[in-house]
Amino acid sequence: MHSSEVPATGAENVMPKMRVLIAARGDRRTALAKALGVHEAHPMFEVGAADTREMLFRSLRTGNWHAVVVAWTFDGAPAEEILAAASELTVCAQTFVLDDPSRAEPLDQLAHRIATGGVRTSAVPKVGPLSTCESLDELLGGGGRRPRSGLLSCVMLSPTGNDTDWHGVLGAGGVACRWRGENVLVLRRAAGPGEAVVWAEALLDRQAGTSAGVTWFRAEELQEAKINQAEQALSIAGSRGVGLATWTSVVAAHHARRLASAIDQPEARRLRLLADLPLGSEQRRHLTTHSEEVAATALDLARLLRLGPEACEQVRLAGLLHDLGKIAIPDDLLAKPGALSPIERRVLNRHAAEGAWLCEALGIDTEVARVVRHHHTRFDALELAPDAARIVAVADALVTMTSIRPYSAARSFEHALAELRRCRGSVFDPRVVVAAHILGASSMRAAA
């Protein structure tokens, strides 16, 4: 929000109409528009219409919509398919399905859901400085309604002289201000936690030299405490000298520091940390089954390379902890079934450094934390990785390729070894690749 558009208090504060795009045949579209127009809880609507998929996509690209409604069957395709294809265009809007047989929902009920689910904020102008806000009411437009459903993300950015075109960045699905005269606060709808973090990561490209703190929550949980979470995440990002940190990072680091002084054994601290934190299914798989298999494989490789007992134990522990940073990577991003975009990949790659910081907070040996930080460092990189990190890298790749993943079926051991050979000398240490082949041959003989 810019200063020229700060809503006045009292009678002068007029909220703009909520913009609803309806993709449905004429009679049902008219009936829904009528239901919206007479709905006492939300009488101010602007309704757009789309008769074909092409028209729907064109409208989504050219207009900012608070809500998008698609008929159960539209232009010869199911609504689910239409909305999936339009997912990148609807991230700032609530989406609804008209005449969904699984809900058997009357039009007035759908109208009520749209009325209470859409975000209406003062329009963000295309030019001018950001306004300063001291409270949520100021940010959301004085006495205007707050969003009541859906997922919101809050991004706090360190001060920067680059005055981004916030209108173009946010569209109709968010608001921005100088929060209490200092950092930039952005509040917007998010399709999911992963999308919230990826959006913030992309925003850093527009704001060179800045850092961001991110949190996400249900709309009904919106209060200033959530903004404080984003501020604390920004503080973590600044202290670490990185571009982005999440509230999850703050919570995990707090628990880790508490456990470091309460529990003696490193592995017991790890188990307690995983028990204390709310993890998604894919996060838990990475942090338990996968990590345990990587630790066992890394230990076998270390022994084949004739490392001493202490070095072997270091490798095993690093393998067990190598993915600890995925605590801070949203589960829906880890579970994505398709290929990751470059920005999504950048978010995922943050887990190595995040894991190292969590290891340090847990009181883990600094050399083990260094191995965790470098377990994805390429063999041909200018930055030299510890030998133990190179072992964990090969173990991680071997276990990953031979396991079922959201985006790929499990590959055979022979296929995984061929991939290691292809990447030796560039991604992987050739000595460790040789050890992997010896281990593979031994495993295949034992299975025969």
309 with 443, same domain?
yes
31 with 174, same domain?
no
**Do 226 and 154 contact (CB within 8 A), yes or no?**
yes
pLDDT, tens digit, 9 for 90 and up, residues 9-54: 333 333 456 778 899 988 888 888 888 765 544 456 778 889 998 8
Please, which pLDDT band fits residue 448 given cuts at 50, 70 and 90? very low
Give the Cα separation of 247 and 237 in Å (integer). Answer: 10
pLDDT score of 8: 33
201 - beta bridge partners? none
Please, which pLDDT band fits residue 428 given cuts at 50, 70 and 90? very high
226 with 275, same domain?
no
What is the domain-level CATH number for residue 139?
Answer: 3.30.70.270
Asked which of 218, 242, 266 is the last residue of a domain, the reply is: 242
Give the Cα separation of 23 and 68 in Å (integer). Answer: 8
328 with 387, same domain?
yes
pLDDT top residue among 140 and 278: 278
Could you tell me if residue 11 is inside a domain? no
Distances (CA, A) of 244 to 125, 231, 314: 27, 12, 29
Burial class (CB in 10 A: 0-12, 13-18, 19+), 149: middle
- Sign, CA torsion 86/87/92/95: positive
Give the Cα separation of 213 and 246 in Å (integer). Answer: 6
pLDDT score of 167: 54
Asked which of 178, 213, 242 is the last residue of a domain, the reply is: 242
**Residue 71 φ/ψ region, left for φ over 0, alpha for ψ in the -120 to 50 degree band, beta for the rest:** beta
pLDDT, tens digit, 9 for 90 and up, residues 394-425: 999 999 999 988 878 889 889 999 999 999 99
234 with 301, same domain?
no
Q: Is pLDDT above 90 for 65?
A: no
Distances (CA, A) of 422 to 117, 274, 427, 429: 51, 35, 9, 12
**Do 260 and 362 contact (CB within 8 A), yes or no?**
yes
Could you tell me if residue 126 is inside a domain? no
331 with 184, same domain?
no
pLDDT, tens digit, 9 for 90 and up, residues 333-373: 999 888 888 889 999 999 999 999 999 999 999 999 999 99
pLDDT, tens digit, 9 for 90 and up, residues 196-252: 999 899 888 877 788 999 999 988 899 999 999 999 999 999 998 888 999 999 999
Please, which pLDDT band fits residue 137 given cuts at 50, 70 and 90? confident
Dig out the tokens for 68 from the structure.
């998008």
288 with 424, same domain?
yes
Q: Is pLDDT above 50 for 292?
A: yes
What is the domain-level CATH number for residue 96?
Answer: 3.40.50.2300
Asked which of 182, 211, 242 is the last residue of a domain, the reply is: 242
Q: Give the number of domains in the chain.
A: 3
298 with 434, same domain?
yes
140 with 73, same domain?
no
- For residues 430-435, average pLDDT: 96
140 with 57, same domain?
no
**Nearest of 35, 18, 171, 19 to residue 98 by alpha carbon:** 35
Please, which pLDDT band fits residue 138 given cuts at 50, 70 and 90? confident
Could you tell me if residue 417 is inside a domain? yes
Could you tell me if residue 125 is inside a domain? no
Could you tell me if residue 402 is inside a domain? yes
Give the domain extent around 100: 17-117
- Sign, CA torsion 26/27/28/31: positive
172 with 234, same domain?
yes
Could you tell me if residue 169 is inside a domain? yes
pLDDT score of 25: 86
